[in-house]
Amino acid sequence: MATASQAPHTAPIKGKIIEAEVKLSVDPGRPLPLGCGLYAIETEEGIWLCAYYGANRSVFEFLPQKGSDVDERTLGISFHVKEFVPKADYQSSRWAEFKQANLMTYKSEH
């Protein structure tokens, strides 16, 4: 299994989304839905696995989708989780593990 390494630098992520999982969930006991966006972003240095979580409805329609070019400086959301994987170590199983570990929904949706 490939292990994620520390970021090669602290510059904002800029690249193309090669995988995306966007999920909105609701709970009758909570006033706002929860948005979760999981992304694999390919950059020159490697693949960044990123997760966004939020309850701001105005952002939901603008969450990036697979195939989008992103620049973290102008994206409009902040990633709560960032893991760097060298391109040589990235496999679809690594993406599946990241999704399973980081997908966040309200408990009533599981």
At 36, give phi and psi (nearest 5°). Answer: -130, 125
Residue 20 has pLDDT above 60, yes or no: yes
pLDDT digits (tens, 9 = 90+) for 47-75: 999 999 998 877 788 889 999 999 999 99
Answer whether 86's CB lies under 8 Å from 50's CB.
no
**So what's the pLDDT on residue 96?**
97
E strands present in the chain: 14-25, 34-42, 47-54, 69-71, 81-85
Q: What is the mean pLDDT of residues 97-109?
A: 84
Query: Which tens digits make up the pLDDT trace of 27-53?
Result: 888 888 888 999 999 999 999 999 999
The mean pLDDT value for 87-102 works out to 96
pLDDT of residue 108: 53
Contact 37, 52 (CB under 8 A): yes
